[in-house]
Structure 1
């Protein structure tokens, strides 16, 4: 009889790749919470490691210093806020006002999530120390929405719905007027109700488009 050795088993206690990745994500989420709660200066690697039941050595095996951990935590939060192009295209129903309102509600809704609110507050408090987080947020999360809105305005201008304009500047004005004010209220702890969002977004989009209509 031929002896067949049993298949090798993973060593007891060794996490799977999925488990390891889940722990890594927990580390980054917890780090961002503590950086926000205590500020970058006062939050420590030891504090973060303790909160997720890791050793400092485990954390340092991934990140050489606190700054590297902070930047990784912020980048993960930014990446979770990125709106895929297909999602933006799905809200385009051909009506400029309705599509702009849908884009605005989408962006405002993102900031009202725990991840979105935490990210905005961290950017507001720490971008002077780490200007690259503002740049990364703009490149990954904000610029694609600007480009999409700019494209909507270019299409509307070609159709004669609005006057020919600098669509890039108009897209930035849209984000500032329609989204920025609501975001500032949310970050300040005064979130508008869904009814208030609809009213304010609708009013500001109408105001913007009235200013852009052909004369």
Structure 2
């Protein structure tokens, strides 16, 4: 009979430290869960204990990493903005020689983005908590909308140089485009009204035409 293997071969190894990728995924899960709870219960009623229980993480780990609940909230909000924002290159790729078709294609991207789970969560939680923390609304607008407004203003100046020689006016009109085309459906859904894909498409087309008519006349 063969001799038994030495104990060093049969002993179970203790699990090692998580890899950087695993730690990052775990932290992202924490931030995502925290933001969901902040939305469901509000900032004041959400506790670190509830967040750690939901994600299965020790409280001391969260306190060591973020210090307090407000820092955790702001970090989760910043990550949500970073994950949600549409890359400008994607908007540029939607441009074509037809200006109206470009506005419609870009509008579809922006509407789909704001109506996504992530977009509506960000909109709702920012609106709810801006009363207590006014600066987060400004921050979300500047970080989440600012690059898109800058891109649209540049496009208006490129496509309609005789109409938009003033960059400030171009930026104002870009913001109006966002409010009309993307903000319209988003506000309706935020109020709890469901829209079908057909209704969203019809509103997007109508709002783009209204915007274009106002710009060109």
TM band (smaller chain): 0.7 to 0.9
1:77-120: CA deviation from partner (whole Å, max 9, x where unpaired): 01111211211111111222111112222121112222112111
Gaps of 5+ in 2: 1-12
Match of 1:205 among 202, 205, 208: 208
Contact 1:150 1:167 in 2 (8 A): yes
Contact 1:163 1:212 in 2 (8 A): no
Note the C-alpha offset of 1:42. Answer: 0.5
Does 1:127 find its partner at 2:127? no
Contact 2:104 2:204 in 1 (8 A): yes
Q: CA–CA distance in 2 between the matches of 1:22 and 1:16? A: 10
1:151-201: CA deviation from partner (whole Å, max 9, x where unpaired): 22112222x6x5767211211111111111111112222232222122111
Change (3 A) 1:164 1:195: farther
Q: CA RMSD in A?
A: 1.9
| Larger CA deviation: 130-139 vs 59-68 | 130-139
TM-score, structure 1 normalization: 0.87
Change (3 A) 1:60 1:96: same
Q: CA–CA distance in 2 between the matches of 1:107 and 1:213? A: 22
Match of 1:14 among 4, 17, 22: 17
Q: CA–CA distance in 1 between the matches of 2:173 and 2:33? A: 38
| Larger CA deviation: 146-155 vs 46-55 | 146-155
Query: Which secondary structure does the structure 1 equivalent of 2:143 belong to?
Result: helix
Match of 2:72 among 66, 69, 73: 69
Does 1:34 find its partner at 2:27? no
TM-score, structure 2 normalization: 0.87
Query: Which secondary structure does the structure 2 equivalent of 1:40 belong to?
Result: coil
Aligned residue pair count: 203
Q: CA–CA distance in 1 between the matches of 2:85 and 2:175? A: 17
Gaps of 5+ in 1: 1-9
Contact 2:111 2:181 in 1 (8 A): no
Does 1:113 find its partner at 2:116? yes
Match of 2:179 among 176, 183, 188: 176
Question: Which ranges of 4 or more aligned residues in structure 1 deviate by more than 6 Å?
Answer: none
Contact 2:164 2:170 in 1 (8 A): no
Partner of 2:5: none
